[in-house]
Structure 1
Amino acid sequence: MSMKLPLVLGSSSVFRRAQLERLGVVFQTASPDFDETPLAGETAADTALRLAEGKARSLAAAFPQALIIGADQVAWCQNRQLGKPMSVAKAQQMLHELSGQEIEFYSAIVLLNTVTGRICCHVDKTVVKMRSLSSEQICRYLEREPDAVYCAGAAKSEGLGAALLERIDSSDPNALIGLPLFKLVEFLAEEGWAVV
């Protein structure tokens, strides 16, 4: 490729922005405009991938000559999708329900080339085993980690949320934070973007 296309992170997530910054690549961020409501009968992996792709495509008109990264994460436990609690009360309830449970996190990443229309997609599955938590532990955690209300499943694993976890099984430890970087580096290389 003769010219390297500009890179756009289609996300308002400060966590994903920090992850991409750690790669040392030049990029800009844009907030996608896409309905994130899950569809009836949709699997968690399908929801994550549809939302990641929808977010990327929602920015295509604004960035007609760019590589747009779309990402989304859906948590699944006890036969239902878990969203972001968005309030302390909902986070407390969610963590009580997740105490001692295994949770599956599906982290989707999409790279859309708005010049060629090519799209690369991947969904990473991470399985997390939560410790058994008391009401006091949950309250102390949410007091000390207020951003957890913006995380799927209310557990911010890269912060104090690590104390809530017993085990993480994943092929990419970055995926649980929200951006599967191993696959992103591969997708970027395919588009002529060498990270290293």
Structure 2
Amino acid sequence: MKNLILASASPRRRELLGVFGIDFEVRPADIDESVLDGETPADYTLRLAVEKARAVAGDCPGGFVLGSDTTVALDGECLGKPVDAAQARDMLLRLSGTRHDVLSAVALVHPDGEVDSRLSTTIVDFAPLPAAWVDAYVDSGEPMDKAGAYGIQGAAGIWVRRLEGSYTGVVGLPQFETGELLRAAGLC
């Protein structure tokens, strides 16, 4: 049996990976998630997925390690996880009435150190958000651990008029791309 490790503490990623019906263990990665100067949202998201997987692979020789990262990008700017309620409110008001990108990358580090990765890009069309909705959502605490300060699978899902791409990518683990990596490695 091949060992698979998910390099993430996200319960959403754990649930999405569980759909594949393969055993895995969870070992969160601890890396610096700062955006580098001049880094595009796509490059940033792919780099973090790879770095998370490599960080955990260094402590778990002989296994396959899956890393993932999700970024909300507005006009080429990465909107990460808010540091406080004021930043969450600001992010949501900036996203109000926009079409923005949600990029989700997955990277699989093989036991021999080989890395394979994929990127999913989804366009999300948000309705205009009344300030009262934003305030109530921020007060709920839900946006605090989510890129762009929202989770489509939660209360913010009612704001999405349309999406073009991968729903599971917006949630945090694009299942199509993840399946490609797992099948190519013989894991499912």
For residues 115-163 of structure 1, the C-alpha deviation after alignment (integer angstroms, 9 at most, x for no partner) is x22211111001101110111111222344x222211111210111111
Q: Where in structure 2 are there 5+ consecutive unaligned residues?
A: none
RMSD between superposed Cα atoms in Å: 1.4
From 180, 184, 192, give the equivalent of 2:178. Answer: 184
Q: Does 2:134 align with 1:163?
A: no
Partner of 1:129: 125
Between the aligned partners of 1:174 and 1:91, the Cα distance in structure 2 is: 22
Q: Does 2:137 align with 1:141?
A: yes
Partner of 2:187: 193
Q: Where in structure 1 are there 5+ consecutive unaligned residues?
A: none
What SS does the corresponding residue of 1:187 show, helix, strand or coil? helix
Q: Which residues in structure 2 correspond to 1:1-196 (within 5 Å)?
A: 4-114=1-111, 116-144=112-140, 146-170=141-165, 172-194=166-188
Structure 1 ranges of 4+ moved more than 6 A: none
What SS does the corresponding residue of 2:106 show, helix, strand or coil? strand
Between the aligned partners of 2:12 and 2:187, the Cα distance in structure 1 is: 22
User: What number of residue pairs does the alignment pair up?
Assistant: 188
What SS does the corresponding residue of 1:24 show, helix, strand or coil? coil
Sequence identity (%): 32
For residues 65-109 of structure 1, the C-alpha deviation after alignment (integer angstroms, 9 at most, x for no partner) is 111001011111133111111422211111111111111111010
* TM-score w.r.t. length of structure 2: 0.94
Between the aligned partners of 2:23 and 2:147, the Cα distance in structure 1 is: 27
Opposite residue 66 of structure 1, the aligned amino acid is G
Between the aligned partners of 1:66 and 1:132, the Cα distance in structure 2 is: 46
